Amino acid sequence: MALTHDDHHDVHGVHEHEHEHHEQNFIQKYVFSEDHKMIAKQYLVTGIIWAFIGGLLSILFRLQLGFPDLKLDGLRWLLGNWINAEGKLETEFYLALVTMHGTIMVFFVLTAGLSGTFSNFLIPLQIGARDMASGFLNMLSFWFFLVAGLIMFASLFISTGPAAGGWVIYPPLSAIPTASNGSGMGMTLWLISMALFIVSQLMGGLNYITTIINLRTRGMSFSKLPLTIWSFFLTAVLGLLSFPVLLAAALLLIFDRSFGTSFYISEIYIGGEALPQQGGSAVLFQHLFWFLGHPEVYIVLLPALGITSEVIATNSRKPIFGYRAMIGSMLGITLLAFIVWAHHMFVSGMNPFLGSVFMFLTLIIAVPSAVKAFNYITTLWKGNIVFTPAMLFSIGLVSLFVAGGVTGIILGNAALDIQLHDTYFVVAHFHLVMGSASFFGLMAGVYHWFPKMYGRMMNDTLGYIHFWLSFIGVFCVFFPMHYIGIAGFPRRYYSFSTYDLTNSFADLNMFISIAAIVTFASQGLFAWNFFYSMFKGKKSVQNPWRSNTIEWTAPVVPGHGNWEGPIPAVYRWPYDYSKPGAVEDYIPQTVPFSSTPESNLPEETEQIALEKAIEELHVFQKEVSAKSGGH
């Protein structure tokens, strides 16, 4: 790949040339950056901050649940009047905490923090592109997210408190300010924040899809894409099709709240008067909400599964088992994710026949999910496993995915859901399968790609401790919740003690709260490791995990445009690990078959003929690159 200086100019094109001698100033580089890597880091750091805020809120309500007699006067400096005269959390504020915890974790941490970080960071680097299709749109996407976050954060501090109707904000509770303090200004801010967030997600999603379709390097066909990219692609498709529906739902809710329409409200008598609105349907909102809400589960989960696929294959030193089946199951999940939403509504009062239909559809989605789990396990079989922190978090993800997934089969059954709906059984289920599993995927991704992001390594030992505390911790927190659910305890209850029968779970609740505090505290280790290693970590080598994907062929800290010189061509799939006959136990995607005759499979020898065609694309790409100004 020797290249003369002139070639360098050609490839980078006009745009690059312009900037060659002008260093970007601080604001261009770190604040209003259009570089996908910097935007990814902005998403990541913002996501980490949000994760700590969201986690802290959950600790506050776990204190109330685990230690109902505890005096919280010591927290008055933080919570002010939300601590009442007896030193306890206000009941209304408890609901606000639950609501904000859910909103923050689902949208700001596991959607923006996960997809935003890794789609932005990995798509150009793994498909071989200089940057995203539109750097400006990408920057705008982050800033919309940040503003959405700031508005949500501000809502924590207003006198009536933030939204308090649960993260699902079902009207009429969320539509009528007199129904709850949180349905006043807090709800307004929630809606504004979410509207901006959706705009941000749409701009991001458009960019991801366009980039993956149009900017792949030569030779990078869809059948050679790493599974990470497949997962980001399908996630973006899910988001693009479902987020607008939430925007519509939110818009109609805004109309109901402010302009006297009755899309969702009907025949209501509240605060001593009968409201004039008639003919609306509260269930309509639930349909619209879950049309996003259910795909959202997969928006959160698919990137984590993609990251896990990559990490497990690399560290097992084995190809991912069933590459095509993995893509197929992700496609299946993507499609089915749109037609299972009403399993959240079996007892909402909708027609039971609809319930039957959605029960059948819901249990179909369990099949591709099961296939994914089996494929991960088979990938480990006869591997040569290196337990990096990323690998441990990936194995942890599989374990959590299975543990939480199996109870989905119970909850997807409409008849069983009658008893379990809105109990702690549901809380246990989705925190394991969606919350914790996605969080573990996020962590796996951070540990794995940290060297590519900052050119330094994170501390392994701290990573191991972080993993074990988190892994044992989340099981201690969420596994016992199944018992509380089976005992018929409803979720979003401020207090267990008014519920005579389940008083007996006081010990268990204390245990859960202590486990939650320990788990939360152990995330501090991660934060320290993350920020310390960013500046003081051991310098990374170019390909620390001896991985096949092409981001590791870029410089240790890739500059603007990612590769110096031309973007490498791709000749093979990303999972040629431990190939029989090969010298090393990995063959990067950029190595042509013609240079590895010792390890080629018969059908791969045939592909040598195609390499010329891939090379010829080079000339073509150069021309396009020059015309389009380098991007």
Residues 375-434 that bind another protein (CB under 8 A): 375-378, 380-387, 392, 395, 398-399, 402-403, 406-407, 409-410, 412-416, 418-419, 421-423
Q: What is the end-to-end Cα distance of the chain in Å, rounded?
A: 21
The minimum distance between CB 577 and another protein, in angstroms, equals 7
Contact window for another protein (CB under 8 A) among 33-41, 221-229, 246-254, 503-511? 503-511
Give the Cα-Cα-Cα angle 342, 238, 366 (nearest 5 degrees).
55
Can residue 335 be called a binding residue for another protein (CB under 8 A)? no
Q: Judge whether 569 and 595 are in contact, CB under 8 Å.
A: no
Dig out the tokens for 34 from the structure.
Answer: 């259009």
The minimum distance between CB 162 and another protein, in angstroms, equals 14
Return the residue matching tokens 């031309």: 566
Among 3, 78, 150, 364, interactor with another protein by CB under 8 A: 364
Contact window for another protein (CB under 8 A) among 10-18, 40-48, 242-250, 355-363? 355-363
The minimum distance between CB 473 and another protein, in angstroms, equals 8
Q: Which is nearer to another protein, 153 or 471 (CB)?
A: 471
- Distances from the Cα of 220 to the Cαs of 182, 223, 226, 569, 589, in angstroms? 51, 8, 10, 7, 9
The minimum distance between CB 14 and another protein, in angstroms, equals 40
The pair phi, psi for residue 577, each rounded to 5°, is -100, 140
The minimum distance between CB 94 and another protein, in angstroms, equals 8
Give the Cα-Cα-Cα angle 149, 151, 156 (nearest 5 degrees).
95
Q: Judge whether 481 and 489 are in contact, CB under 8 Å.
A: no
Displacement of CA 138 from its chain's centroid (Å): 17
For the window 47-86, what string marks contact with another protein as x by the rule CB under 8 A? ----------------------------------------
For the window 432-461, what string marks contact with another protein as x by the rule CB under 8 A? -------------------------x--xx
Give the SS3 label for residue 577.
strand
Q: Which is nearer to another protein, 23 or 507 (CB)?
A: 507
What is the b/e burial string over 264-286, where b = at least 16 CB atoms within 10 angstroms of the residue's CB?
bbeebeeeeeebebeebebeebb
Among 263, 440, 449, 494, interactor with another protein by CB under 8 A: 494
DSSP per-residue string spanning 603-625: HHHHHGGGHHHHHHHHHHHHHHH
Give the Cα-Cα-Cα angle 465, 467, 473 (nearest 5 degrees).
100
CA distance 392 to 463: 9
Closest-CA residue to 226 (of 580, 577, 463): 577
Closest-CA residue to 101 (of 341, 488, 431): 431
Q: Judge whether 341 and 365 are in contact, CB under 8 Å.
A: no
For the window 145-164, what string marks contact with another protein as x by the rule CB under 8 A? -------------------x
Q: Which is nearer to another protein, 175 or 567 (CB)?
A: 175
The minimum distance between CB 97 and another protein, in angstroms, equals 12
CA distance 279 to 284: 11
Residues numbered 291-310 forming contacts with another protein, rule: CB under 8 A: none
CA distance 238 to 245: 11
Residues numbered 532-591 forming contacts with another protein, rule: CB under 8 A: 538, 544-546, 575, 577-580, 585
CA distance 216 to 208: 12
Among 10, 90, 604, 611, interactor with another protein by CB under 8 A: 90
Q: Which is nearer to another protein, 77 or 381 (CB)?
A: 381
Give the SS3 label for residue 89.
strand
Tell me how far apart the 2 most distant CA atoms of the chain are, in Å. Answer: 84
Residues numbered 181-200 forming contacts with another protein, rule: CB under 8 A: 181
The minimum distance between CB 341 and another protein, in angstroms, equals 16
Can residue 464 be called a binding residue for another protein (CB under 8 A)? yes
For the window 19-38, what string marks contact with another protein as x by the rule CB under 8 A? --------------------
Can residue 179 be called a binding residue for another protein (CB under 8 A)? yes
Give the SS3 label for residue 265.
coil
Residue 492, Cβ density class (10 Å: 0-12 exposed, 13-18 middle, ≥19 buried): middle
Can residue 341 be called a binding residue for another protein (CB under 8 A)? no
Element (H, E) at 274: strand 273-274
Can residue 366 be called a binding residue for another protein (CB under 8 A)? yes
Among 61, 121, 505, 552, interactor with another protein by CB under 8 A: 505
Residues numbered 249-268 forming contacts with another protein, rule: CB under 8 A: 265-268
The minimum distance between CB 618 and another protein, in angstroms, equals 29
Can residue 316 be called a binding residue for another protein (CB under 8 A)? yes
Among 5, 22, 324, 536, interactor with another protein by CB under 8 A: 324
What is the b/e burial string over 146-176, where b = at least 16 CB atoms within 10 angstroms of the residue's CB?
bbbbebbbebbeeebbbbbbbbebbbbbbbb
Q: Which is nearer to another protein, 298 or 493 (CB)?
A: 493
Can residue 594 be called a binding residue for another protein (CB under 8 A)? no
Among 107, 232, 493, 520, interactor with another protein by CB under 8 A: 493
Q: Which is nearer to another protein, 143 or 483 (CB)?
A: 483
Q: Which is nearer to another protein, 143 or 464 (CB)?
A: 464
Among 469, 554, 567, 591, interactor with another protein by CB under 8 A: 469
Dig out the tokens for 133 from the structure.
Answer: 């299709």
Closest-CA residue to 340 (of 249, 417, 244): 417
Can residue 499 be called a binding residue for another protein (CB under 8 A)? yes
Q: Which is nearer to another protein, 105 or 567 (CB)?
A: 105
Among 103, 117, 180, 548, interactor with another protein by CB under 8 A: 180
Can residue 3 be called a binding residue for another protein (CB under 8 A)? no
Q: Which is nearer to another protein, 302 or 403 (CB)?
A: 403
Q: Which is nearer to another protein, 202 or 433 (CB)?
A: 433
